[in-house]
Structure 1
């Protein structure tokens, strides 16, 4: 049986998210969703597609401000992704990573990323870059840790910029190309070898 909040739809969730943000001091800080332990209220038909587009009941959520608001109350728990307020927790579907890293800038010794929902993240020990490879195609799938287990898929053009910045380094896995940021080094790909 759905809760009153879940049945109230997108506007109800938006009001709860706004109230949660206001309760966190309004401003620029994120609500402390990691400290909230509300009861699970069911699932809500919100899906974040692989390309970072948020959908509600199959329709893209066109209001950028609403998507940004929801992104501030998103949390990853062992049983999946949830929108969380102090009084409710509703599971949503995330096809890959919940965010997309759409820009990178070199800022001195740091790499500063911008996500599609407005997060600014400096890669480093607490914000690692990792690259997975598709087992079939070998195509890289690069990710950046944004906050508390939430990652951003690094958009292809941004990843190409990282590859352009990369330098070779010897690693236990052999020579790798990688980038340094904020005192940490991250492998972004193998060094191409001559194959017979």
Structure 2
């Protein structure tokens, strides 16, 4: 019997995440369809800090491990194993984009959990504008509906690399990566 068949809760999540051999990619959480087992007291704050039972998870390796079995379903975020599905709370996006580099035609991002993501047609950048403050909230699609909030310093780097293009609603400031164009705000905002 597999280790993940005998362990439940947090131990089961750890065992399921560890079953993926190094260099083979992420566990296939999108293929697992276990029954919902309830909630687990894990919370991801908007700055990317993970908490368990109100205490920050201090082991970076454990957070990275949990991030590999994280899935977004229509009813929220879950840690998923082949035999369990436990709902967690996420304040904003589950990850934070902490670095960006321009490498040829690609923008390469690094997240707080070690994901390396190239922006492009499948992994887009989107920017929401806060209705009250008018400030941008930029996000990067990481994988299967999971996003990273782009930190302010990284967003400033994107703005420095940006160019202006004429869009259907007027001039817009944006950036291109792997052939995809990503506006960094509403049309005309940058020309005020």
What TM-score results when the alignment is normalised by the length of structure 1?
0.90
1:94 aligns with 2:109: no
* Matched residue, 1:10: none
Check conservation: 2:17, 2:66, Cα contact below 8 A.
Answer: no
What secondary structure sits across from 2:17 in the alignment?
helix
Instruction: Tell me the number of residue pairs that the alignment of Structure 1 and Structure 2 aligns.
Output: 184
Determine the C-alpha separation between the residues in 2 that align with 1:23 and 1:40.
21
What pairs up with 1:13-162 in 2 under 5 angstroms? Answer: 13=10, 15-162=11-158
Check conservation: 1:99, 1:117, Cα contact below 8 A.
Answer: yes
Determine the C-alpha separation between the residues in 2 that align with 1:75 and 1:57.
20
Match of 1:165 among 148, 156, 161: 161
1:193 aligns with 2:191: yes
CA offsets per residue over residues 156-184 of structure 1, 9 Å max, x none?
00000000000000112221100110110
RMSD: 1.4
What secondary structure sits across from 2:160 in the alignment?
helix
Gaps of at least 5 residues in structure 2 are: 1-6
Query: Once the 2 structures are TM-superposed, how far is the Cα of residue 20 of structure 1 from its aligned partner?
Result: 1.9
Determine the C-alpha separation between the residues in 1 that align with 2:23 and 2:120.
25
Check conservation: 2:18, 2:65, Cα contact below 8 A.
Answer: no
* Matched residue, 2:8: 5
What TM-score results when the alignment is normalised by the length of structure 2?
0.91
1:179 aligns with 2:182: no
Gaps of at least 5 residues in structure 1 are: 7-12
Query: Once the 2 structures are TM-superposed, how far is the Cα of residue 134 of structure 1 from its aligned partner?
Result: 0.3
